[in-house]
């Protein structure tokens, strides 16, 4: 006998896994890719520009959603798209070790983004076909919860896992001791480096083994000179990756396009001159803390096209001794036989002998991130196999038969959205409400990962995964739930202004972190939690407004169009955020984000919302 297909299945068997699988590729494209590219040495300008373009599939998702209805079933699309997602993740894993990894991984990221957006269409449609109205209402919270768990897994646990691989796939940790005393000489010299000819296992060598710093202060001009020498040496030999601005300055203007020569470069010069992050000029004869130079060198040549990155951080002792150059040093087959230089400095107010220890951990970054993406690829191969057998076969999940009528109706529905008399106000709200947040999202992780001398917080990959990707997402979720409960009691009209301010004002937390660069993980985590909770709370108004403007005969289609503009509102500002930050620095960039609150609030003045919209109606007894 021929076995009949299961038309129903316990929703608990497939809804949690389906929406977990829906969330993972989205967070990989939007957040994990940013952190990965940052750790692999890509500039903030390129990261923000190219990863923001990856929003495009979600922007134009409403345009090709009919294809999912016209061709095959939604069940078929789910299973196949999960296979394609797994293949794209596997392609990224294989491309990371290649010399031209950035271009190739972006190609696979595009495949991942389009297949993920298509999977979203099919999964959301299948949810409505596979459940009756009562179960749809019951499981709406369950699907949202598992989507949020996917966010925490991707932004938190996955980044922590990558950070673990970064520190365990490299060379043994190295410790650098620094001792400060008034008896040490004020003279600053480059350390003598002993060439290693023993071969064998590779490890980091430190010269001298114990750095000696005099607590007798030196003129600021002397510090500036030695710092420039150290910085130039490290950049010239590839130990420190240049920022986009530095690379452009050294490459000159030869071969520039018309756009670069006449628009981009003049605009960049204007912004840098008038809004650049300038430090106050210190008189050359003013005294500052003394310094000591430490050299670090690899004992053996690494494999071709492999990069070993040494991350140095304060470990123990007196924080009066600081590392001011050399927090992140990249070693490869081209510079392994040269020393990289670190610069340690005493606090100018230090008057007693003291000491500190700095610890360096290294990792094969390419291998670490390849392993991470291989795990993801295997996960999606399993998801596809699991859903191939476990998803039900709803009788309503059939390929659309009337192609022409369906397409005609689709374009008619699409046009009705744009014929609304208040369409200009609606689009302004959708595009500008999150203007500041769209730029914060792209630059938050690079800001936390960048060394402190570049204006960042100098956190490790694991730190970012824990503070931003775990606690931050939990706060975002709690904020979203709180916003929903608040709106259910008093409605959107009452809360819209409070929520609009909530999504913008807490960006001051990043202004504070950029200016004061706190070292305490507790303070950084608190700032992240406050900003993310407020974002979740304020985003409720945005979601409710999309539902409000979608009401009517074509609610589903109009809501899909609104989500496309929501994605566009994130894509366009995100594209230039890295370029702007590279020019004006983190401090002024976050001030700029605060100023973006003004255009974000303007549409709120004019939106008209029916009283009572969003308030939960009491059920009749």
The predicted-structure confidence for 526-536, as pLDDT tens digits, reads as follows 999 999 999 98
Share of the chain above pLDDT 70, in %: 85
More confident residue, 3 or 119: 119
The whole-number pLDDT of residue 8 equals 67
The answer to whether residue 176 scores a pLDDT higher than 60 is: yes
8 Å CB contact between 54 and 109: yes
**177 within domain boundaries:** no
- How far, in Å, are 121, 259, 279, 552 from residue 408 at the CA level? 20, 41, 61, 19
Dihedral, CA atoms, 549, 546, 120, 418, nearest 10 degrees?
40
Q: Which residues contact 295 (CB under 8 A, 6 or more apart)?
A: 190, 191, 193, 206, 207, 339, 340, 341, 342
The whole-number pLDDT of residue 191 equals 86
Span 275-322, pLDDT tens digits: 666 655 556 567 888 999 999 998 888 877 777 888 888 888 888 888
HSE of 56, CA atoms in CB hemisphere, 13 A? 11
Same domain, 515 and 592: yes
- The token duo for 377 is 């690829």
Q: What are phi and psi of 491, to 5 degrees?
A: 85, 165
Q: Which residues contact 169 (CB under 8 A, 6 or more apart)?
A: 363, 364, 367, 368, 371
- How far, in Å, are 55, 68, 551 from residue 26 at the CA level? 9, 19, 27
Same domain, 457 and 483: yes
**79 within domain boundaries:** yes
Same domain, 368 and 348: no
Same domain, 277 and 207: yes
The whole-number pLDDT of residue 372 equals 93
How far, in Å, CA of 544 to CA of 212, rounded?
A: 62
**Average pLDDT score over residue span 528-554:** 84
The whole-number pLDDT of residue 276 equals 67
**Average pLDDT score over residue span 354-373:** 88
The answer to whether residue 4 scores a pLDDT higher than 60 is: no
The whole-number pLDDT of residue 247 equals 45
**428 within domain boundaries:** yes
Which segments of 156-285 does DSSP mark as H helices, in order? 158-168, 220-236, 244-251, 258-259, 265-275
H-helix or E-strand spanning residue 208: none
- The token duo for 567 is 């994605």
Q: How confident is the model at residue 407 (pLDDT cuts 50, 70, 90)?
A: low
Q: What are phi and psi of 574, to 5 degrees?
A: -65, -30
Single out the residue of 533, 556, 474 nearest to residue 145, CA to CA.
Answer: 474
- How far, in Å, are 80, 392, 446 from residue 130 at the CA level? 18, 7, 41
**408 within domain boundaries:** no
- The token duo for 275 is 């809004």
| Bridge partner residues of 350 (DSSP) | none
Q: Which residues contact 151 (CB under 8 A, 6 or more apart)?
A: 23, 27, 473, 476, 477
The answer to whether residue 590 scores a pLDDT higher than 90 is: yes
Task: Tell me if the bond preceding 208 is cis, omega within 30° of 0.
Answer: yes
Tell how strand 291-298 and strand 204-207 pair up.
Answer: antiparallel
- The token duo for 462 is 């694991």
Same domain, 154 and 187: no
Collapsing DSSP to helix, strand or coil, 471 comes out as helix
Single out the residue of 380, 31, 330 nearest to residue 204, CA to CA.
Answer: 330
Question: Any idea which of 30-34, 284-288, 553-557 has the lowest mean pLDDT?
Answer: 553-557
Q: Which residues contact 412 (CB under 8 A, 6 or more apart)?
A: none
How far, in Å, CA of 358 to CA of 310, rounded?
A: 12
How far, in Å, CA of 407 to CA of 404, rounded?
A: 5
End-to-end CA distance of the chain: 50
pTM of the model: 0.77
- The token duo for 443 is 């630059």
Span 441-451, pLDDT tens digits: 889 988 998 88
Span 104-144, pLDDT tens digits: 999 999 999 999 998 988 887 787 777 665 666 566 557 77
8 Å CB contact between 190 and 341: yes
491: domain CATH number?
A: 1.20.1250.20
More confident residue, 612 or 524: 524
How far, in Å, CA of 24 to CA of 382, rounded?
A: 14
Same domain, 50 and 69: yes
Same domain, 296 and 213: yes
**413 within domain boundaries:** no
The whole-number pLDDT of residue 620 equals 38
The answer to whether residue 405 scores a pLDDT higher than 80 is: no
Span 162-175, pLDDT tens digits: 888 887 777 888 89
How far, in Å, CA of 589 to CA of 573, rounded?
A: 13
| Bridge partner residues of 345 (DSSP) | 291, 322
Mean predicted lDDT score pLDDT of the chain: 82
8 Å CB contact between 359 and 315: yes
Single out the residue of 477, 511, 512, 482 nearest to residue 499, CA to CA.
Answer: 482
Task: Tell me if the bond preceding 359 is cis, omega within 30° of 0.
Answer: no
8 Å CB contact between 395 and 104: no
Q: How confident is the model at residue 390 (pLDDT cuts 50, 70, 90)?
A: confident
Which of the given ranges, 66-70, 95-99, 242-246, 369-373, has the highest pLDDT on average? 369-373
More confident residue, 4 or 365: 365
More confident residue, 336 or 343: 343
Which of the given ranges, 186-190, 478-482, 503-507, has the highest pLDDT on average? 503-507
DSSP summary character for residue 619? P
> How crowded is residue 5: how many other Cβ atoms within 10 Å of its Cβ?
10
Q: Determine the structural domain holding residue 298 and report its residue range.
A: 183-352
**621 within domain boundaries:** no
Same domain, 29 and 108: yes
Same domain, 289 and 244: yes
The whole-number pLDDT of residue 386 equals 93
- The token duo for 540 is 């409720």
8 Å CB contact between 387 and 82: yes
More confident residue, 235 or 128: 235
**30 within domain boundaries:** yes
The whole-number pLDDT of residue 592 equals 94
Tell how strand 174-181 and strand 210-214 pair up.
Answer: parallel
The answer to whether residue 599 scores a pLDDT higher than 60 is: yes
8 Å CB contact between 379 and 61: no
> How crowded is residue 598: how many other Cβ atoms within 10 Å of its Cβ?
12
Single out the residue of 331, 327, 323, 329 nearest to residue 292, CA to CA.
Answer: 323
Same domain, 98 and 137: yes
8 Å CB contact between 69 and 409: no
Q: How confident is the model at residue 252 (pLDDT cuts 50, 70, 90)?
A: very low
Count of structural domains within the chain: 3
- The token duo for 15 is 């809804």
Same domain, 549 and 599: yes
Single out the residue of 26, 27, 23, 44 nearest to residue 448, CA to CA.
Answer: 44
Same domain, 425 and 570: yes
The whole-number pLDDT of residue 246 equals 44
The whole-number pLDDT of residue 1 equals 40
- The token duo for 318 is 């007196």
**95 within domain boundaries:** yes
Q: How confident is the model at residue 253 (pLDDT cuts 50, 70, 90)?
A: very low
The whole-number pLDDT of residue 244 equals 44
How far, in Å, CA of 548 to CA of 371, rounded?
A: 44
More confident residue, 7 or 508: 508
Dihedral, CA atoms, 487, 492, 495, 500, nearest 10 degrees?
120
The whole-number pLDDT of residue 7 equals 62
């Amino acid at each position: 006998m021929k076995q009949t297909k299961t038309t129903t299945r316990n929703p608990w068997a497939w809804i949690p896994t389906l929406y977990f699988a829906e969330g993972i590729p989205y967070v990989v494209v939007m957040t994990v890719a940013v952190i990965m590219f940052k750790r692999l040495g890509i500039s903030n300008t390129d990261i923000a520009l190219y990863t923001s373009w990856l929003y495009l599939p979600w922007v134009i998702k409403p345009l090709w959603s009919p294809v999912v209805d016209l061709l095959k079933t939604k069940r078929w699309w789910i299973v196949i798209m999960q296979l394609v997602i797994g293949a794209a993740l596997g392609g990224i894993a294989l491309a990371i070790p290649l010399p031209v990894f950035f271009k190739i991984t972006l190609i696979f990221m595009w495949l991942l983004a389009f297949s993920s957006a298509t999977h979203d269409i099919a999964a959301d449609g299948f949810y409505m076909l596979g459940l009756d109205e009562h179960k749809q209402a019951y499981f709406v919270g369950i699907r949202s919860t598992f989507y949020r768990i996917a966010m925490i897994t991707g932004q938190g646990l996955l980044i922590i896992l990558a950070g673990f691989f970064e520190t365990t796939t490299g060379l043994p940790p190295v410790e650098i001791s620094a001792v400060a005393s008034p008896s040490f000489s004020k003279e600053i010299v480059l350390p003598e480096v002993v060439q290693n000819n023993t071969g064998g296992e590779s490890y980091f060598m430190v010269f001298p083994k114990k750095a000696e710093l005099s607590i007798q202060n030196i003129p600021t001009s002397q510090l500036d000179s030695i710092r420039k020498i150290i910085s130039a040496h490290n950049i010239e030999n590839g130990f420190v990756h240049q920022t986009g601005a530095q690379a452009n300055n050294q490459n000159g203007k030869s071969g520039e396009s018309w756009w670069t020569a006449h628009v981009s470069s003049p605009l960049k010069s204007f912004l840098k001159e008038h809004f650049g992050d300038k430090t106050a000029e210190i008189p050359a004869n003013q005294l500052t803390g003394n310094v000591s130079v430490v050299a670090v060198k690899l004992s053996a040549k690494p494999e071709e096209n492999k990069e070993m990155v040494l991350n140095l951080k304060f470990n123990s002792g007196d924080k009066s001794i600081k590392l001011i150059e050399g927090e992140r040093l990249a070693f490869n087959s081209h510079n392994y036989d040269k020393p990289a230089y670190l610069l340690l400095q005493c606090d100018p107010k230090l008057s007693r002998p003291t000491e500190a220890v700095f610890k360096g951990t290294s990792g094969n970054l390419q291998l670490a991130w390849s392993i991470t993406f291989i795990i993801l690829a295997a996960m999606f191969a399993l998801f596809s196999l699991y859903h191939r057998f476990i998803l039900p076969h709803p009788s309503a999940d059939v390929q659309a038969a009337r192609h022409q009528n369906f397409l005609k109706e689709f374009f008619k529905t699409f046009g009705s959205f744009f014929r609304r008399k208040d369409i200009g106000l609606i689009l302004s709200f959708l595009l500008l409400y999150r203007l500041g947040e769209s730029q914060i999202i792209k630059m938050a992780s690079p800001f936390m990962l960048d060394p402190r001398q570049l204006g960042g917080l100098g956190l490790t990959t694991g730190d970012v995964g824990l503070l931003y990707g775990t606690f931050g997402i939990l706060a975002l979720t709690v904020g979203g739930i709180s916003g929903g409960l608040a709106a259910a009691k008093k409605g959107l009209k009452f809360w819209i202004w409070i929520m609009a301010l909530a999504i913008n004002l807490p960006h001051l937390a990043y202004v504070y972190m950029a200016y004061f660069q706190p070292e305490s993980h507790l303070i950084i985590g608190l700032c992240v939690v406050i900003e993310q909770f407020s974002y979740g709370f304020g985003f409720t108004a945005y979601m409710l407004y999309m539902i409000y403007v979608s009401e009517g005969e074509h609610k589903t289609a109009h809501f899909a169009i609104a989500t496309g503009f929501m994605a566009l509102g994130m894509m366009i500002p995100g594209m230039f955020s890295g370029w702007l930050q590279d020019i004006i620095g983190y401090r002024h960039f976050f001030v700029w984000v605060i100023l973006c609150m003004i255009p974000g609030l303007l549409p709120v003045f004019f939106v008209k919302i029916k009283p009572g919209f969003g308030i939960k109606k009491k059920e009749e007894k």
